[in-house]
Chain A
């Protein structure tokens, strides 16, 4: 193994309300493939952004490269020091040729006035040569396959003299054969002494090429382990040992089917999705980000119509092509990003809650009946305990938990039978989370069927009766939550 290239010491990053990273420290060596792993939200992306100069760490943290302390890193400085991130979108230029994508950075860096196409050609040829690639230089990048674009991004990194190459989920849109090719290239870069930081959720891939593993959990450094010290199970238990304690609600087996999803498929989204949501049940739908959970939810709600499959509500077939039809059928959907998609921040609580039912509170002349609007608002504010008790309060002035309640009220006002909530407690504090959990349980007790999409396994285990785990667009397993632990779920999701 090579010598130490990068030393990461006491790196912390605090965002309002969230400690994204706390005192993370480990080393990356030259000529190694170093895996960085953790659940969604463990802090991997934040760490990459700090290494690449997009975020500044909190005071006290230090990054040393080749013995030199990198202070006040900017994206450009980071690049000049040889830290190159291959993002999932590659950051390339679809309109420029392969050659320019690889070599243009050189001219910019040298502050040239004129470009030398000859020099660019030489640089690009050299970089592609190092990777053993044969590509037409002059094709616009946008015409290449995703896999080839990724290789161009790596070639560009080489042309920029990358010392630390950070690959963020590089295999997520590659086929099996393309992954194999990528791994060959990663191994050849390793031989040249380049350090690779490899982020992936796929354990088999991580074990196939990685020398060492660094595990993050909830923004904390768990440890760095060499490849022969660990197996799959140990790695999973290191990743998921979250200690957040929620109230665990008793699990019920419900028998009366409410919503039955049969053979839902959509090309490029998900395939063969089958599950049944029962009356009074909370069904958790989990899996890694990108597994297709939200796509399924949006399909049920008519935002993402399926290619094939049928849906039964109370045993009767139901065809839904638009959200409007879904609402009429009694299905409500609270989207993941409640601030962006679910709430009009500059409108009052009253305006927000009544938004989904404007039709039913309008008189025959098409104008909204304000008395009806107020009484409707007061009913839901009372039932869900929205504070402060002022229907005119702007949504932007409410706490996270209360904002979430307003969004849920908005959908409850349509009097749904099925409620789908996507990451209901993302970004709110722990007290508000518990309240939302309690609210969801109460709604289920009143007979609603609730589908909760969540990446947070403790949350699923706390409130769901059953859980369906998705991976790569399929439901891998469905389990009764009684007696389950986080490892049971994570091992299926990975």
Chain B
């Protein structure tokens, strides 16, 4: 298969990632420690899972700004379910994924059936869902998550001892991310619906002419993203051990920034799972670097905005160049 062209496509981002890591390590050697690496991994699992959902959305040529509201809602539902319903991990996953999928489904139906532009539809659901969450919780934290669930969240894998005697290891939540990466890759690469996602992002009219049911694909994509947000909510709750309804304010921008950093086009059609994984890593390293270099946290927002505007500018410039080449009269 086209491993060759894949490698070439993602190579520049990978190089930037390595170069940036090198610069940060020189500025602050703490960066290149196993401990910092595991820290970055643990605090960005949620971002990574949501980014993979967002990748699919961007591939169709859409966008979803409601993801932060949805995960806020799902963490609240998960917290309440853990406290009042069942602390069983499987039940919790089921509840979280079901509620996430349902909210994604609403987005999908609005976009596919009513043909509301994705940005408008998801801005609307973003506001509605966040409003409901704040109304029902009064913005108060949910504490008192059952111990069994907290214990589950503390499990580490491949643990080993550091020189100073502390034990560290991979967080158990990695077990959620790895299947999600594989599943997303599998859908995009190996299923007809996955190729349809690329096709409708590349040329919607032709995709429909070819027999793809664009509305079904869109509904699937937004629902799948909701499903991933459900899993991410479980991961988040198990790491934080409490629920803050305001924890995700503005998080959608970070998710979008991470995906476009990985080479996905906001105009649809271009982007890959590998690219997104690298993009998320790059984004995390930038964030971590800003912290390690003691740059005020407000800069994070500025960087996120610049990344999004920069990536979209590149897309638009490329598109204009293509259009320019297209419009021409054959002068003899």
Chain A interface (Cβ within 8 Å of chain B)? 75-76, 79, 91-97, 100, 104-105, 107-109, 112-115, 117, 137-139, 142, 172-173, 267-271, 290-292, 295, 472-474
Q: Are B211 and A109 in contact (CB under 8 A)?
A: yes
24 contacts between A and B (CB under 8 A): A76-B209, A79-B211, A95-B269, A96-B195, A96-B202, A97-B2, A104-B195, A104-B210, A108-B210, A113-B192, A115-B191, A115-B192, A115-B194, A142-B322, A268-B331, A269-B328, A269-B329, A270-B331, A292-B331, A295-B329, A472-B330, A473-B329, A473-B331, A474-B331
- In the complex, what distance in Å separates the CA atom of A139 from the CA atom of B2? 9
Say how far B320's CB is from chain A's closest CB, in angstroms.
14
Is B5 part of the binding interface, using a Cβ–Cβ cutoff of 8 Å?
Answer: yes
Q: Check A105/B211 contact, CB under 8 A, given A97-B2, A112-B192, A139-B5.
A: yes
Please, which residues of chain B bring their CB within 8 A of the CB of A292?
Answer: 329, 331
User: Which partner residue on chain A sits nearest B200 by CB separation?
Assistant: A93
> Do A93 and B202 form a contact, CB below 8 Å, given A108-B212, A472-B330, A474-B331?
yes
In this assembly, does B164 line the interface, its C-beta being within 8 Å of a C-beta of chain A? no
Question: In B304-329, which residues have CB < 8 Å from any A CB?
Answer: 322, 327-329
- Contact (A290, B329) CB under 8 Å given A95-B201, A104-B210, A142-B322: yes
Chain B residues contacting A95 (CB-CB under 8 Å) are 198, 201-202, 268-270
Q: Across the two chains, which residue of chain B brings its CB closest to A118?
A: B1
Please, how many angstroms separate the alpha-carbon atoms of A290 and B332 in the complex? 13
| Most chain B CB within a 10 A radius of its CB, from A76, A95, A117, A138 | A95
Contacting residues, chain B, for A100 (C-beta < 8 A): 195
Within 236-272 of B, Cβ neighbours of A (below 8 Å) are at 268-270
Give complex CA distance A91, B204 in Å: 9
Is the CB of B196 closer than 8 A to any CB of chain A?
A: yes
Query: Is B207 in the interface zone, CB < 8 Å from A?
Result: yes
Evaluate contact between B192 and A108: CB separation under 8 angstroms. yes
Other 10 A-B pairs with CB < 8 A, given A92-B203, A113-B191, A115-B190? A96-B195, A96-B199, A117-B1, A138-B2, A172-B330, A267-B331, A269-B328, A472-B330, A473-B331, A474-B331
Instruction: Tell whether A105 pairs with B331 under 8 Å between CB atoms, given A114-B191, A115-B190.
Output: no
CB B64 to nearest CB in A, in angstroms, measures 20
| Cβ-neighbour of A173 out of B191, B199, B206, B330 (below 8 A) | B330
Q: Is the interface of A mostly helix, strand, loop or mixed?
A: loop
B163 to chain A, nearest CB (A): 48
A91 touches B332 (CB 8 A): no
Contact (Cβ within 8 A) A270 B329? yes
User: Whole-angstrom distance between the alpha carbons of A172 and B328 in the complex?
Assistant: 10
Complex Cα distance, B188 from A115, in Å, reads: 10
Check: B4 CB closer than 8 A to any chain A CB. Answer: yes
Residue from the list A96, A105, A474 in contact with B198, Cβ < 8 A: A96
CB distance from B193 to the nearest CB of A (A): 8
- Contacts known (A93-B206, A97-B2, A139-B5); A473 close to B330, Cβ less than 8 A: yes
> Given A97-B2, A107-B192, A115-B190 in contact, is the A75-B209 Cβ separation under 8 Å?
yes
Complex CA gap A137/B2 in Å reads 9
**Separation of A295 and B328 alpha carbons in the complex (Å):** 10
Question: Taking A104-B199, A109-B211, A117-B1 as contacts, is the C-beta distance between A268 and B269 under 8 angstroms?
Answer: no
Nearest A residue to B4 via CB reads A138
Main secondary structure of the interface of B (DSSP, over half): helix
Which residues on the B side are within 8 Å of A270 (C-beta)? 329, 331
The 10 A-B pairs at the shortest CB distance, nearest first, are namely A95-B269, A268-B328, A473-B331, A93-B202, A138-B2, A95-B202, A91-B206, A108-B211, A472-B332, A292-B329
Give chain A residues whose Cβ lies under 8 Å from the Cβ of B39: none
Residues on B close to A: CB < 8 A?
Answer: 1-2, 4-5, 190-196, 198-199, 201-203, 205-207, 209-212, 268-270, 322, 327-332
B269 contact set on A, CB distance < 8 A: 93-95
Residues of B within 8 A of A295 (CB): 329
Looking at the assembled complex, report how far the CB atom of B74 sits from the nearest CB atom of chain A, in whole angstroms: 28
Residue in contact with B329 in the complex, picked from A76, A104, A138, A291, CB distance below 8 Å: A291
B210, closest chain A residue (CB): A105
Looking across the interface, which residue of chain A has its beta carbon closest to that of B331?
A473
Smallest CB-CB separation from A117: which chain B residue?
B1
Shortest beta-carbon distance, A263 to chain B, in Å?
A: 14
CB-CB < 8 A to A139: which residues of B? 5
Q: How far is the CA of A225 from the CA of B192 in the complex (A)?
A: 46
CB distance from A57 to the nearest CB of B (A): 19
What residue of chain A has the Cβ atom nearest to residue B265's Cβ? A95
B59's nearest neighbour on chain A, judged by CB, is: A95
CB distance from B207 to the nearest CB of A (A): 7
> In the complex the two chains form, what is the Cα distance from A105 to B322 in whole Å?
25
Whether the Cβ atoms of A114 and B199 lie closer than 8 Å is no
A473 pairs with B192, CB closer than 8 A: no
A305–B205 Cα distance when bound, in Å, is: 33
The minimal Cβ–Cβ distance linking A108 to chain B, given in whole angstroms, is: 4
- B331 near A92 with CB under 8 A, answer no
How many Å lie between the Cα of A104 and that of B201 in the bound state?
Answer: 15
Residues of A within 8 A of B203 (CB): 91-94
Instruction: State A271–B203 Cα separation when bound (angstroms).
Output: 33
Expressed in whole angstroms, the Cα–Cα distance for A290 and B330 within the complex equals 8
Q: How far does the Cβ of A471 sit from chain B's closest Cβ, in whole Å?
A: 8
Cβ contact within 8 Å between B1 and A472: no
Please tell me if the beta carbons of A472 and B331 are within 8 angstroms of each other in the complex. Answer: yes
A268 to B329, Cβ gap below 8 A? yes
How far is B3's CA from A137's CA once the two chains are assembled, in angstroms? 12
How far is A482 from B44 in the complex, measured between Cα atoms in Å? 79
Best-surrounded residue of B4, B198, B268, B328 (most CB of chain A within 10 A)? B328
- Chain B residues near A109 (CB, 8 Å)? 211
**Most A-side CB within 10 Å, residue of B201, B210, B268, B269:** B210
| Complex alpha-carbon distance, A3 and B198, angstroms | 41
The docked-state distance in angstroms from the alpha carbon of A172 to that of B4 is 35
Give B213's nearest chain A residue, CB to CB. A108
The answer for the CA separation of A96 and B207 in the assembled complex, in Å, is 12
Tell me how far the C-beta of A91 lies from the nearest C-beta in chain B, rounded to whole angstroms: 4
Which A residue's beta carbon lies closest to that of B332? A472
Residues of A within 8 A of B1 (CB): 117, 138
Which B residues are CB-close (under 8 A) to A290?
A: 329
Separation in Å of the B321 CB from the closest CB of chain A? 11
Give, as a whole number of angstroms, the nearest-CB distance from B315 to chain A.
12
CB-CB under 8 A from A96, the residues of chain B are 195, 198-199, 202
How many Å from the CB of A6 to the closest CB on chain B? 20
Chain B, residue nearest A80 (CB): B211
Shortest distance from the beta carbon of B11 to any chain A beta carbon, whole Å: 16
Residues of chain B lying within 8 A (CB to CB) of residue A92: 203, 206
> CA–CA, A404 to B206, complex, Å?
35
A97 to B212, CA, bound (A): 18
Q: Measured between alpha carbons, how far is A173 from B327 in the docked complex, in Å?
A: 10
Asked whether, in the complex, the Cβ of A93 is within 8 Å of the Cβ of B198, the reply is yes
Residues of A within 8 A of B201 (CB): 95
In the complex, what's the smallest C-beta–C-beta distance from A145 to chain B, in angstroms?
A: 10
Q: Which residue of B lies closest to A293 (CB)?
A: B329
For the complex, give the distance between the alpha carbons of A142 and B4 in Å.
Answer: 18
